[in-house]
Amino acid sequence: MKRSGFMAVLALVLLVRCAPAENDTERVMEKFSVSSPSSVNTVHFGLNDGQPHYRVTRFGQEVIGWSALGLELKDLPDLVNGFEVDAHETFPVRETWEQVWGQSRYVDNHCDVLKVFLREKEALGRQLILEFRAFDDGVAFRYEYPEQPGLETFRIMDELTEFRLTGDHESWYIDAYQWNRYEYYYQNSPVSQADTVHTPFTMRTADDLYLSFHQAALIDYSTMTMERTGDFTFKANLVPWAEGDRVRVSETRVTPWRTILMSDFPGDLITSKMILNLNEPNKIEDTSWIKPGKYVGIWWGMHLDKYTWHPGDKLGATTERAKRYIDFAAEHGFDHVLVEGWNPGWDEAWYESGVVFDFTRPVEEFDLEEVAAYAREKGTRLMGHHETSASVLHYEAQVPEAFQLLEDLEVRALKTGYVGHGTEIVRYGEDGEELHEWHHGQFMVNHHLDVIKKAAEHKIMLNVHEGVMSTGLRRTYPNMMTSEVAKGQEYNAWGEAGGNPPEHTLLIPFLRNLAGPFDYTPGVVDLYFEEYRPDNRIKSTLAKELALYVTIYSPLHMAADLVENYDDHPEAFRFIRDVSVDWEETRVLHASIGNYLTVARKDRHSEDWYLGSITNENGRVLKASLGFLDPGRTYVAEIYRDGRDAGWEEAPYEFVREEVTVTSDMALPLRLASGGGQAIRFRPAE
């Protein structure tokens, strides 16, 4: 054979050996399966030449084809193949637990569990445990590696978890490994056009089955992104340490759960409790200080450039202005007043490095103790603010003293920030060299959990911006109230697109909110910013801005506008003042990803219900059945809706408030203008 011909054949052989073997999955020998309580979803387990695989079916139809599992290790044989089943067990979980706060008061945790105990047939004889849980609204699985000879401590170089989809599903996602973390607009494409993406990663199949991939109980591990490795195949891609390894295993002997929500109705993704159920129960004994609430703050003015964070003629954080906001909060029943720019460092190059910040003393223009005491006297509280600019080691050194200061001032809520780009988070290696970490690797995952625990010791609720994506830890640590980790309201003030597009808030509930509460900071009623930001605006109607309090879930919601702007919109402000943030139950009445959404929620502390309905750039008419109301009872519906000529482009302020009497056997028409919405409070008539 000529050399050229030999090389061509050799190249072909190597290509075949190295390429993903799509047909290898046909050799998987199924061993066990477990189905959800109503036999909706089933997880199947099998081995292929000793490598574990799983498969997911729904009513017998394949949703995830046979997909490989395994872990590649550093300086140790991999936990990938050569396994045999040592034992297995199945058991049901049937419990109902009460949330400290949430979208619903009580949560049913109903699933069936399969645990498979694997052992290497040769070599070291190491054990690996795989646990699968089947719920009626999804499935989940995780790895467990018990401490044993040869696995006391080790490093994971790659997690081989696959997700073999059955087709080129429509999908919505944000690309991973980008400089601005999660703060991008969602993309919508077939999965074959995605690359490496953040989760939640939401899809719709050709048969109108809705899927969303994420993770639960992210503790002492790296964030999972999803990397496309074939036309419709993805694998786990773990955010690495600076040295290149993915996870460092010592005390924690389980991975986070890999979760797949499944529903025929996209609204059921929103009300799923599966991710919460996969987290450990509450570890905070006294939760009496943990209370959902609403807040105002010296914040929006900085984004408009009316005020500044740094000292000078336009400094926002002055004692006088803080007291004015406190007076407003006390008059209208707001629970907290956020003040940003209160501490030294903002006049330095803080955006490049947060080592300039001091979290234990205020600037001269702001009397911290006086303001905190004034708030308490008025029946509200100061909300703390710690912007770290991702200088984590600098922040950690101050946390003990800074948190004690907040406790001494009886501050109950703290907003933290980690503004920064890419891998500029600095830590130091064993040789003292400066290393740079991603925002979402194991180093930062552990940092955020440490802060949550320390905050709980000082009775502080957290609102984390630029953090890691939520994974249900609010069940275990209910002081972890809400977070950002997406494009919020501030992009309306200065974003490159001139403001968030109308569909943005129609995507958040089906993506970002599936992970957990989102501090979007709604409630801006001055929709144009001609004086300060003439090239930007809010691309919604006034009625839609009110409805966001119901459609975007957060237990800490802000009335984000300059407080003086509410004087010009008293009827709209009435809904912002009245709406609850803590719920007995939640129902989704209409849902279409990126198009429209209607959510009804019952207040946990009264007999009132609230409804929010929003649409994208297209106006539409929906009909809301009121079957969620108590039968035989009459309610007054306080309706805040788009006016006859309303539309986000030309007439966003066209707005009507009216009252009608309703009962549970009625249906209300919801006329939503372009970029519009409707908000309703239902209160018992008697």
Helix residue spans in 136-293 (DSSP H): 267-271, 274-277
19, 104, 478, 552 from 98: Cα distances, Å: 49, 9, 12, 22
Helix axes of 392-408 and 442-457: crossing angle, nearest 10 degrees: 10
Burial 17-36 (b: 16+ CB within 10 A, else e): eeeeeeeebeebeebbbbbb
348 is known as an active-site residue: no
Of 598, 623, 629, 595, the closest CA to residue 611 belongs to 598
Residue-by-residue DSSP string for 72-121: EESSS--BSSSEEEEEEEEEEEEEEEE-SSSSSSEEEEEEEEEEEEEEES
Question: Across the chain, which distance is largest between two alpha carbons, in Å?
Answer: 95
Of 679, 637, 635, the closest CA to residue 655 belongs to 679
619-620-625 Cα angle (round to 5): 145
Q: In 3-state terms, what secondary structure has residue 244?
A: coil
Asked if residue 439 lies in contact with residue 425, where contact means CB atoms within 8 angstroms, the answer is yes
235, 521, 674 from 144: Cα distances, Å: 19, 39, 50
Q: Which strand (E) or helix (H) includes residue 612?
A: strand 609-615
Catalytic residue among 490, 503, 638, 654: 490
Residue with tokens 């799923």: 272
Cα–Cα distance measured from residue 324 to residue 17, given in angstroms and rounded to the nearest whole number: 70
Number of C-beta neighbours around residue 52 at 10 A: 25
Asked if residue 662 lies in contact with residue 638, where contact means CB atoms within 8 angstroms, the answer is no
Alpha-carbon torsion (577, 581, 584, 590), positive or negative? positive
Residues linked to residue 43 through DSSP beta bridges, in sequence order: 34, 56
Residue-by-residue DSSP string for 7-27: HHHHHHHHHHHHS--GGGGGG
Q: In 3-state terms, what secondary structure has residue 528?
A: strand
Cα–Cα distance measured from residue 428 to residue 123, given in angstroms and rounded to the nearest whole number: 36
Cα–Cα distance measured from residue 142 to residue 236, given in angstroms and rounded to the nearest whole number: 12
Cα–Cα distance measured from residue 588 to residue 271, given in angstroms and rounded to the nearest whole number: 8
Looking at the annotation, which residues are catalytic? 490
